[in-house]
Amino acid sequence: MDRFDFHRVYFIGIGGIGMSALARYFVFRGMEVAGYDKTPSPLTMELEALGMDIHYLDDLSLVPAPFLDPSDTLIVYTPAVPVDHSEWTHFKEHGFRVQKRSEVLGTITRDTFCFAVAGTHGKTTTSSILAHLLRETGTPLTAFLGGISEDFNSNFISEGDEYSVVEADEFDRSFLRLHPNVACITSMDADHLDIYGDQESLRASFLEFASRLKPGGKLFVRNGLPLKGITYGIEDDSDYCIRNIKIEHGTYIFDLGTPERTLEGVRFNKPGRHNLLNGLVAFAMAIQAGPPPDRLAKALETFKGVQRRFSYKIRKDNLIFIDDYAHHPAEIDAVLEAIREMHPGKSILTVFQPHLFSRTRDFMEDFAKSLSGFDSILLLDIYPAREKPIPGVTSQGLLERISNPKKKLVTKQELAKEIKAQNPEILVTLGAGDIGLEADSLKREFDYEN
């Protein structure tokens, strides 16, 4: 899979989940890797442990000298890097090869049998299930994941060059750099409107992605989406369909229908109908690599999950604590539905950290409606990520729109005290910012007491 005529790769934004997977890939291929990120994190610590030189100030003097040779260094950057970043500016102006992460990913996967998972929700879980199914059935693959798989304890798998698994990210239209053999589209809800402007432009981009399959390629689409392809769904007339669902001890048991046959008594352990759909399309895609359906069905049962995707942090009689990456109203609805289905009758306290000022502005009313469905709500300030504040867009404004009176705006420092005061049966932390670190802290706070 080597298609590069250089020996060093420098990443601007190396700590991002997608960027770090690429960094691992190049180290695995024997190249020297270094990079910049805004803040240290558990991910950057892991990368440094692999020998990567990483610094946290935008300062060209901190870039290792060998990486300042434009003839032998590739610069990889994330679209989230600000335009006034001085290192990025230097590399662009001094003859370096500067590429987006998506361009590099497209080059790496170009001559493989490429599986690409697209959709505004479910990409990471679906691609992780797919990688797990292929690996369990002996398929040689390289996978770049948007989260830490609990099956591999990594966001990167390299066990062969024949097949590749990637997330086809709609942000910044990155997925238009890919040419997959097999792709799926899980959802096309409005999102990233700071990039697209409106939902129709977003949908047009997905249609363009669907047209980029290699000749003879197959596209799987969730039943109901306005796209032509092989359909999948639950209790409907889809080509691949889950029927006769039962729940036993937190495990789904169901029949899985394919165009050729029905597999009975299939088991899957991740809560939520949205996760059932993710598992179903991963199964349908994996069949295209040739493994026997029965073996794939057995592998579905052993999928452990992805960190921060309906992850149980504590599971005891007097406290269930779930952490999830949900940062869009549709994702919040899916988490709430899954909790109600798996833990009926229990009261739920949610802690939500809005992600991005633009997303909070665009979906303010929808966020308020989704959060109002929980029994109690604690709201943190907006996590800005790459954005500057937008006048009038605040967590206080969101709080005022939530119809449930059991709501409160809190600081991170107040979280543990407030949760103890409410003594919930189920605690769920939601968001795509740094709330995952708070979840780890809360687990330490409450696990020994319960």
Would the annotation count 90 as a binding residue? no
Angle of the 123-136 helix axis to the 273-286 helix axis, nearest 10: 40
- Return contacts of 226-232, CB within 8 angstroms, 24+ apart: 226/188, 227/185, 229/185, 230/284, 232/277, 232/280, 232/281, 232/284
Rounded CA separation 58/12 (Å): 9
Round to whole Å and give the CA distance between 397 and 390.
12
**Is 89 annotated as ligand-binding?**
no
Q: Are 372 and 404 in contact (CB under 8 A)?
A: yes
Nearest alpha carbon to residue 233 among 165, 182, 301, 284: 284
Question: Cβ of 329: how many Cβ atoms within 10 Å?
Answer: 21
CA 323 to chain centre: 14
Neighbours of 5 (CB within 10 A): 9
Residues 6+ apart with CB under 8 A from 301: 266, 267, 268, 269
Cα–Cα distance measured from residue 99 to residue 128, given in angstroms and rounded to the nearest whole number: 26
Contact (Cβ atoms closer than 8 angstroms) between residue 220 and residue 180: no
> Is residue 124 marked as binding?
yes
Are 227 and 216 contacting, i.e. CB atoms less than 8 angstroms apart? no
Cβ atoms of 52 and 81 closer than 8 Å? no
Check the annotation: does 121 bind a ligand.
yes
- Residue 109 in marked binding region: no
d(CA 136, CA 143): 14
User: Residue 252's beta-bridge partner residues?
Assistant: 247, 268
CA gap 400, 411 in Å, rounded: 17
**30 half-sphere exposure, CB direction, 13 A CA radius:** 5
> In this structure, are residues 409 and 400 in contact, taking their beta carbons and an 8 Å threshold?
no
Binding residues for ATP: 119-125
Binding residues: 119-125
